[in-house]
Structure 1
Amino acid sequence: MNENTVYDAIVVGTGISGGWAAKELCENGLKTLVLERGPMVKHIEDYKTMHDDPWDYPFKGELTREDKKKYHKQLRVGWAPRDDVKHFFVNDLEHPYQETKRFDWIRGYHVGGRSITWGRQSYRWSDVDFEANKNEGIAIDWPVRYKDIAPWYDKVEEYIGVSGEVLGLSHLPDGKFQPAMKLNCVEQNLQKSIAKKFDDGRLLTIGRVAHITESTAEFEGRGPCQYRNRCWRGCPFGGYFSSNSSTLPAAERTGNMTLRANSIVHEVIYDDAQQKATGVRVIDRETHETLEFKGKIIFLCASAMASTGILLQSKSKTFPNGLGNNHDEVGRNIMDHHYQLGANAKVDGYLDKYYKGRRPNGFYIPRFVNLNDKTKQKDFVRGFGYQGGASRGNWQETVAEMGYGKDLKEAILQPGEWQIGMTGFGEMLPHHDNRVTLSKDKKDQWGLPQLDFDVEFKENEIKMREAIKKEAVAIFKAAGFKDVQAYDTETGPGLGIHEMGGARMGHDPKTSVLNKYNQVHDAPNVYVTDGAFMTSSSCVNPSLTYMAFTARAANHAAEQFKQNKFS
Structure 2
Amino acid sequence: MSNLNIKAKSENTFDAIVVGSGVSGGFTAKELCEKGLKTLVLERGRMVTHLEDYPTMNKDPWDFNYQKRLTNKEREDHYVQIRSGFISEENKHFYHNDKADPYEEKQRFDWIRADVVGGRSLIWGRQCYRWSDLDFEANAKEGIGVDWPIRYKDLAPWYDYVERYVGVSGEPLGLSHLPDGQYLPPMEMNCLEKHIKKEIESKFPNRYMTIGRVANLTVPHNGRGACQSRNRCARGCPYGAYYSSVSVALPDAAKTGNLTLRPHSMVHSVIYDEGSGKATGVRIVDRESKEMIEYHAGLIFLNASAPGTAAILLNSISNRYPDGLGNDSGELGHNIMDHHYRLGASGTYEGFEDEYYRGRRPNGIYIPRFRNINAATSTKEFLRGYGYQGSAGRLSFSRGANDKNFGAAFKDSLVQAGPWTFGMTGFGEILPYHENRMYLDHDQPDEWGLPKMVFDASYKENETVMREYIKNDAAEMLEAAGLKNVATFDAGGAIGVGVHEMGTARMGRDPKTSVLNAHNQVHGIPNLFVTDGSCMTSSGTQNPSITYLALSARAVDFATTEMKRKNL
TM-score scaled by structure 2? 0.97
2:328, 2:511 within 8 Å by CA — same for their partners in 1? Answer: no
Counterpart Cα distance in 1 of 2:413 and 2:227: 31
For 2:26, the aligned partner's letter is G
How far does residue 444 in structure 1 lie from its aligned partner after superposition?
2.1
For residues 117-516 of structure 1, the aligned pairs below 5 Å read 117-199=123-205, 201-216=206-221, 219-220=222-223, 222-394=224-396, 395-398=398-401, 402-404=405-407, 406-407=408-409, 409-516=411-518
How far does residue 275 in structure 1 lie from its aligned partner after superposition?
1.3
1:509, 1:521 within 8 Å by CA — same for their partners in 2? Answer: yes
How far does residue 436 in structure 1 lie from its aligned partner after superposition?
0.6
1:94, 1:445 within 8 Å by CA — same for their partners in 2? Answer: no
Deviations 1:172-220 (A, max 9, x none): 0000000000000010110011012112x0011100000111114xx13
Counterpart Cα distance in 2 of 1:276 and 1:74: 37
CA RMSD of aligned residues (A): 1.3
SS in 2 for 1:374: helix
Match of 2:540 in 1: 538
Counterpart Cα distance in 2 of 1:515 and 1:299: 14
Deviations 1:487-525 (A, max 9, x none): 111211111000001100001100000010100011111
The answer for unaligned runs of 5 or more in structure 2 is 1-6
SS in 2 for 1:60: coil
Picking from 69, 85, 90, the partner of 1:84 is 90
Picking from 76, 79, 101, the partner of 1:72 is 79
How far does residue 397 in structure 1 lie from its aligned partner after superposition?
4.4
Match of 2:3 in 1: none
The answer for unaligned runs of 5 or more in structure 1 is none
2:46 paired with 1:19: no
Ranges of 4+ aligned residues in structure 1 off by more than 6 Å: none
Counterpart Cα distance in 2 of 1:399 and 1:339: 28
Aligned length: 560
Match of 2:4 in 1: none
Deviations 1:321-357 (A, max 9, x none): 1101122110011100011000111111111110000
How far does residue 2 in structure 1 lie from its aligned partner after superposition?
4.8
SS in 2 for 1:526: strand
Moved more, 440-449 or 377-386: 440-449
Picking from 13, 28, 31, the partner of 2:35 is 28
Deviations 1:446-502 (A, max 9, x none): 121111111111111111111101100101111111111111112111110000011
1:4, 1:293 within 8 Å by CA — same for their partners in 2? Answer: no
1:428, 1:537 within 8 Å by CA — same for their partners in 2? Answer: yes
Counterpart Cα distance in 2 of 1:206 and 1:530: 27
How far does residue 145 in structure 1 lie from its aligned partner after superposition?
0.5
Counterpart Cα distance in 2 of 1:396 and 1:31: 55
Counterpart Cα distance in 1 of 2:332 and 2:281: 20
Q: Cα–Cα, structure 1 residues 396 and 341, in superposed 2: closer, same or farther, change >3 Å?
A: closer
SS in 1 for 2:377: coil
For 1:207, the aligned partner's letter is G
How far does residue 286 in structure 1 lie from its aligned partner after superposition?
1.1
For 1:56, the aligned partner's letter is D
Counterpart Cα distance in 2 of 1:63 and 1:449: 30
